[in-house]
Structure 1
Amino acid sequence: MAVVVSSRLHSYVCCLLFIIISQASAQPSFLNHFCLSDEGSFTANSTYHTNLNTLLSNLTSNTQIDYGFYNLSYGENSDKVYAIGVCRGDVKPDECRSCINNSTVLLTQLCPNQKEAIGWYDKCMLRYSNRSIFGLMETSPLFYTLEFVNATNVDQFNQVLDNLVSNLTGIAAASGDSLRKYAAGNSTAPNLETIYGVVQCTPDLSQQDCNRCLVEAFSRITSSGKISGRVATPSCNIRYENYRFYDEPSTTADAPAPSL
């Protein structure tokens, strides 16, 4: 009898662990967030709190949006709330809505009473505020990360990366429209190190502001010589890796290798 109970317990524990691991792997990767105090705070069950909950619960309700950009406002006067949700350009609509919906839950838990907050997942970003944030180019707050490992040839790697990001920036800013400003591509250095990159702006930016945002953002991580890096701001983001991390890109760009 003892053996039977032990076997059942073992099966239950294994099943529980499988469920936990499956749920964890199904969740999008959360990167960073900021609870911004400059715009003040609200009290629970206030009009602003109700408006925020209403807005976030309806942010992705328009299933006709298949380009990964949601921008809505709700309320009046000082209780009006503005929100922007944007997904990486290669993310499918259902996955995009799921990512943003997960972010609405987590961000309001992390920032329970701030009127303005922003959070980044691996595949989406969510921000909300009591001020109009549509069409504004903002590079703060930001976060950036760099891999510890250096490229084999730092100088050549940096030159190829600079060319790649510059080409992608031009494509995203100039070829993008009010629905999507995104470009992805890769380039290979002479030592066969391939760099895969993605750049993106919120599509409510002008061409000039998108370009300016990406240039300023990239200045935070350029010339590092690291094989992986990313920088994210409220208005744009850049990521590069030594492996392909995106699905079918909407636009590709190959930067020329530096001459030896």
Structure 2
Amino acid sequence: MLRYANQNIFSINNISVYQSYAIGLAKYSQYNQQLDNTFISLLDKATTPYGNSLLSSASVYIDLEELLALDARVHCTPDISTSDCRSCLNNALHRLQLKGHQDKGLLQPSCRIDGCV
């Protein structure tokens, strides 16, 4: 994602603009709750301070059944605080519509979430 503006954009949690996407047929709705729970777990992991820095991203790959897996990622830009990262990811998670699509995600200027079944 490329971001530019005619004002300072660093260390500002911007959730006013977002872009969501869904790719593939909506045939994986039985995994919506597991994906939602996985995003919540990743949000906690990404916003837990490690030493003097914020990890700001987390990902996981989970085998669901034969030839089917769940791949999920959350990421914040490294310039925002832990609380802003958590706020941004929470906002993205609430905006994301889990309707069983194979690949889905939501981009905001300060963070993103992606999930694929």
| TM surpasses 0.5 | yes
Aligned counterpart for 1:151 among listed residues 19, 22, 27 = 27
Deviation of 1:130 after TM superposition, in Å, equals 2.8
Counterpart-to-counterpart distance in 2, 1:165 and 1:188? 16
Say whether 1:223 aligns with 2:98: yes
Greater relative contact order structure (CA < 8 Å, 6+ sep): 2
Which residue number corresponds to residue 174 of structure 1? 48
Larger Rg: 1
- Structure 1 residue runs of 5 or longer lacking an equivalent are 1-119, 121-125, 243-260
Deviation of 1:133 after TM superposition, in Å, equals 1.6
Larger helix fraction of residues: 1
- Cα RMSD (Å) of the superposition? 2.0
Aligned length: 114
Counterpart-to-counterpart distance in 1, 2:112 and 2:7? 22
What is the CA deviation profile of residues 61-88 of structure 1, one whole-angstrom value per residue up to 9, with x for unaligned ones? xxxxxxxxxxxxxxxxxxxxxxxxxxxx
Counterpart-to-counterpart distance in 1, 2:49 and 2:31? 26
Deviation of 1:187 after TM superposition, in Å, equals 2.7
Deviation of 1:236 after TM superposition, in Å, equals 0.1
Give the 5 Å matches for 1:1-260: 120=1, 126-152=2-28, 154=29, 156-175=30-49, 177=53, 180-189=55-64, 191=65, 193-242=68-117
Deviation of 1:151 after TM superposition, in Å, equals 3.3
Counterpart-to-counterpart distance in 2, 1:230 and 1:223? 9
Larger strand fraction of residues: 2
Deviation of 1:163 after TM superposition, in Å, equals 1.1
Deviating runs (4+, > 6 A) in structure 1?
Answer: none
Counterpart-to-counterpart distance in 2, 1:168 and 1:151? 24
TM-score where L is the length of structure 1: 0.40
Percent identical: 29
